[in-house]
């Protein structure tokens, strides 16, 4: 009798659980269409926001690239000007040295 009672209990539980699963499945399928729309809208809104952020980041990157290019151009111009000034300084020092030597040679040639 106990065995029979246990089997009846199990059969009743299986029947209850199958009905529960069926109702839950129907409920989920029914709500699936309703729930999908708000999630889809949020997803689309997030996608648009992310796309705009990506565009903004790309624009900022382009501005940074241009700034770096301008900075590099300025650096090269300064380097070129510095090289020119160093060369000019060297040439002027050589002229001054030659001038001093000429002046000293000229002073030595003068009688006391």
Mean pLDDT to the nearest integer, 66-89: 95
Regarding predicted confidence, which is higher, 32 or 88? 88
| pLDDT for the residue numbered 90 | 97
Which residue range is the domain that position 6 belongs to?
1-23+40-109
Quick one: pLDDT at residue 1?
A: 80
**2 inside domain:** yes
- CA 43 vs. chain centroid, Å, equals 23
**Does a structural domain hold residue 31?**
no
Mean per-residue pLDDT over the chain, rounded? 85
Q: What is the pTM of this model?
A: 0.46
Q: For the chain, how many structural domains are there in total?
A: 1
Residue 29: inside a domain, yes or no?
no
- Of 30, 50, 47, 49, nearest to 39 by C-alpha is 47
The pLDDT tens digits of the residues spanning 9-48 come to: 999 999 999 899 888 888 877 766 555 566 667 778 888 8
- 3-class SS of residue 7: helix
The token duo for 83 is 């090289």
């Amino acid at each position: 009798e106990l065995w029979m009672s246990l089997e009846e209990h199990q059969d009743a539980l299986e029947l209850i659980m199958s009905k529960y699963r069926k109702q839950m499945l129907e409920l989920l399928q029914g709500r699936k269409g309703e729930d999908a729309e708000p999630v889809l809208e949020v997803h689309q809104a997030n996608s648009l926001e992310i796309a705009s952020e990506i565009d903004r980041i790309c624009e900022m990157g382009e501005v940074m690239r241009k700034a770096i290019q301008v900075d590099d151009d300025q650096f090269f111009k300064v380097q070129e000007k510095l090289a020119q000034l160093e060369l000019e300084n060297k040439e002027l020092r050589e002229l001054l040295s030659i001038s001093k030597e000429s002046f000293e040679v000229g002073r030595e040639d003068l009688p006391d």
